Amino acid sequence: MRIYRLRTNHIENPLGFELDRLSLSWVTEAAGSTSRFQTEAQVQVSLDEDFHHIIFDSGKMQNIDSLAYTPKIDLNPRTRYYWHVTVWGDGGDEVTSDTAWFETAKMDEPWQGQWITPDLAKDIHPLIRKTFCLPEDVVSARLYICGLGLYEVEINGNKVGNEYFTPGFNAYEFWLQYQSYDITDLVMNGINSVGIMFGNGWYKGRFGFDGGHYELYGDQFAAIGEIVATLKDGTTVVIGTDLGWKCAPSPITFSGIYDGEIYDANKEFESWTTPEFDDLNWKPVRSIEVETERLQARLSLPVKIKEERKPLKIIHTPAGETILDIGQNMTGWVRFINRAKKGQRLILEYGEILQDGNFYRDNLRTAKAEYIFISDGKERVVQPYFTFYGFRYVKLTGFERDLDINDFTGCVIYSDIEETGKIETSNLLVNQLFKNALWGQKGNFLDVPTDCPQRDERMGWTGDAQIFASTACYNMYSPVFYNKFMVDLHEEQKRINGSVPFMVPTIKPEGDIGFVTGNGSSAWGDAATVIPWMLYLHYGDKELLRKQFDTMKDWVDYIKKEDDESGAKRLWQTGFHFGDWLALDGDDPSGLTGATDPYYIASAYYCYSVQLTAKAAKVLGKMNLAEEYSVLADEIRQAILREYFTPEGRCAIDTQTALIVALYMDLIPEQYRPRLIEDLRVKLRNNKIHLQTGFVGTPYFCNVLSENGSSDYAYTLLLNDDYPSWLYAIKLGATTVWERWNSVLPDESISGTGMNSLNHYAYGSVVEWMYRYMCGINPAEDSPGFKKIILKPQPYGKLTYAKASMHSASGYIESSWEIKKDGVLSFKFTIPFNTSADLLLPDALVEKVTVDGTCLLRSIVTATQVGESVKCELASGTYVFEYMPNKDYLLTYSSYNSIGELLNTEETRAIFSGIFPEIANSKFRVYRHSKNTVRELATFPIVSHFVTPERLDELDRKLSNVSWDNAIVMAPVK
């Protein structure tokens, strides 16, 4: 056995984070051991690495939870604690982990440093510095610091830390987070120097709607900090920010989140953060009033350069431009080697797409998204300090035309979150869709879960955040990231009577700019309930749920108050709601909210959020509240039935989304479910098995279909590659998920500029369905954090294999299936140590299933026949099941496939073109992407006389030999 991934409050070895609650977690792996379950465990916490000064010892206990164990310790400020865990297994094994640590921040200690600001004009980017002396017997040193807007620190010429955009983006008016750094290796005996540089950032730069506004949170640069050096005798020396610091203008002459940065290397002060620098001509700083009470130890994970990418190529466009193609829509910047002459201006402009082969960025709206570097003639490595870009292409101006591509590197930045999940299938386009959703998450998880990283927006829209939350938790280890967001959300809630803003942190621009300044929309505000519940399901940390319970409760109480004040109908029929945002079924093609009644969606989410809050209350032992909210949910459900459903179960709102939310959110009696799922199937058939949904309907669509016996429809939606579909974008070269289903048109022209992001992860929420249903990995509500796994894979013959794997909070999980050429289904599952799984094998008979080559009836795996499926109870381990299913999973093409599908692969296109050359000919281009089947063309004018029974039979005979495997997909027909 081995123990790994030791985390404190879900962070490995955290330094200076807020530790208002202490939660220790770890993962145990069997690693060849015969043990499958933990029988006992012991946690020890010490003040030293050798555990000579143990301050907490749990003792050897049976009920220690590896997902979230809370030792009772009174923590001291600025103290490092060491801990390890010993685990005993049921096979007699015993293993002790390596040592982990956590270090507290200042906690309640008063600040000796004071807030200072440069004595310069407020629009001048400053440098501030101080020289200080340390004695010879320093054994450790820490820096505690906060700066406004953004800041970076150097000590003795070296950057402190490896993160960017400190102090982060949060609700500055309510709280400010400071960072803690171990600077022991940066300071030296005797004279030292520290310097801080600043950028506008979100705090005082241009940000917000309608072009944004400056100084949303403040109009002055400011900093507070302390260097605390600990000496051999245990005493400390504190160097704080005070009026002894000096300031001067920075070589950064402009910075902004939207517009980029200008850096004039000729204005640098060489070696300005070294002790040798002479700051005699620098100006003094002055004090500034900032509420020190707002300072809090950090919650934000550091934003880092997580990956680096070399450009694919240099493009010389028809317009005479020089463009770098990074090959991936990403968030960050390009680092380059300066080889320009003194005074030469180098300009990098960032964009997501080319148009007519030329550089394009009109969809960024007012965001300039550029970096200007004025060369000092020295060869050096250059990158921005206080801005980032969403881009794939970079237009270069001022550089020599004969460039060395190796001089450029794409730096991918996002919060320091570990990738945990991976999906692979037999379909290359589906694999790219998974990658696109993951890249969308990377690009938008920059301290705040933003909607997009490129245009003049980049805000924490609550709707996008909750829609994608479960997918995010499968893909990446997200509890810390979302917890910080939820803290901001609750701080906003407190000021608006429990409502939730449309985006968090709330942007407070001057003047009235319409609905975007408001709060309280369904689906958006329900981030208050959905995100905490998803975090609990994925990570099993009850204390984290407890911390966020008031957020859930305040939101549903707010809606109930709105309901009560409007007549207590137990419906939500007041206020503004975004509805099924960007759905395609509205009467007005330019409309944004779709055809589903926004008040129906609001009432549905009202019920859903109350249900989640009741569940959370029960988990936390708040039984009176659980009962109260359960009764309220039933009242809302009954009101929805009276208002929106006939006694026979027909939904009065005739949209895909209306049916989806009714089924997903459990709004209807069980006897209505068959009627509604069939109505949804009919609607899909009427739409040629294509979605018409927006931000509300889309995330749940495939889940609802698969949960209700219609995975064939879900797979068809997934594999459609014409508009509107997920793969439509893939075939047009997308490397991230788009905001709109047709953000780019088939001719590769962008469909509009007003609201058109090419990196918008919301529709990437289909990846949750890929984990949960395609591959079948589900956390159990009664044993969250994947302590118990519900395995319900649903293979389908349009793929020959699918595999999902993830490093869950409980350990490594794998679920894969394959349809072999002889029709046999083969499954492989890996179940982590100290967990169990309930497996449902579809279309199986117990006597025909083998597990690792042994008949299931004779194996140690417990199995029972449940209808047409086999249910197995699995303990930790790796298993391979194989059997011939009760139905044929090998699908072949036929005349019942759409024209678009038959023209999509080399084999089927060749067969179709040979039998129906008249239709395949460009003369009949209108039919070449048709969603209609070949047989349906028999009723079409112009071509119907070509579609004879004899030809259809010949087509079926030849297509019956072509299976739905990973055929060679053709390029889209232009």
* β partners of residue 888: none
Of all helices (H) and strands (E), which one includes residue 841?
A: strand 836-841
Contact present, 856 and 846 (Cβ < 8 Å) = yes
Measured between alpha carbons, how far is 413 from 410 in angstroms, rounded to an integer? 10
C-beta neighbour count of 13 within 10 angstroms: 13
One-letter amino acid identity for 273? T
Any idea what DSSP says for residue 762?
Answer: G
Q: What is the rounded distance in angstroms from the CA atom of residue 784 to the CA atom of residue 66?
A: 12
Q: d(Cα 77, Cα 178) in Å, to the nearest integer?
A: 14
Number of residues written out for the chain: 974
Backbone angles phi, psi at 557, to 5 degrees: -65, -35
Cβ-contact 24, 69 below 8 angstroms: yes
Do 537 and 784 form a contact (C-beta atoms < 8 A)? yes
**Surface-to-core class of residue 917, CB atoms within 10 Å of its CB (0-12 exposed, 13-18 middle, 19+ buried):** exposed
- The answer to whether the CB of 346 falls within 8 A of the CB of 438 is no
Query: Token digits for 922?
Result: 């460009």
Tokens in use for 415?
């919060």
- Alpha-carbon span 91 to 665, nearest angstrom: 43
Nearest-angstrom CA–CA distance, 734 and 743: 10
Q: Please identify every residue annotated as catalytic.
A: 457, 739
The amino acid present at 827, given as its one-letter code, is: F
What separation in angstroms does the CA of 16 have from each of 11, 196, 291, 677? 11, 20, 20, 52
Cβ-proximal residues to 933 (8 Å cutoff; 6+ apart), any chain: 895, 896, 897, 898, 899
CB 189: neighbour CB atoms within 10 A?
Answer: 11
Structure tokens at 869: 């499926």
DSSP 537-599: HHH--HHHHHHHHHHHHHHHHHHHHHHHHTT--SS---S----STT-S--SSTT-SS-SS-HH
Number of H helices, E strands in the chain: 18, 45
Single-letter code of the amino acid located at 287: S
Helix/strand/coil (H, E, C) string of 169-231?
Answer: CCCCCCCEEEEEEECCCCCCCEEEEEEEEEECHHHHCCECCCCCECCCCCCCCEEEEEEEEEE
Q: How far apart are CA 721 and CA 370, in angstroms?
A: 34
Q: Which of 247, 229, 249, 253 is nearest to 239 (CA)?
A: 229
CA dihedral angle for residue 484, residue 490, residue 495, residue 498, rounded to 10 degrees:
160
Of 138, 137, 136, 192, which is closest to residue 160 (Cα–Cα)? 192
Tell me how crowded residue 89 is: count the other CB atoms within 10 A of its CB. Answer: 22
| Residue 488: closest CA among 238, 656, 300, 622 | 300
> What is the token pair recorded at 39?
């029988």
| 465: its two tokens | 């955040």
Kindly give the interhelix angle for 527-539 and 542-565, rounded to the nearest 10 degrees: 160
Task: Say what the alpha-carbon torsion angle 227, 228, 229, 233 is, to the nearest 10 degrees.
Answer: 170
User: What is the CA angle 964-970-973, rounded to 5?
Assistant: 125
- The DSSP-derived string for 508-536 is --SS--GGGG-B--TTTTTHHHHHHHHHH
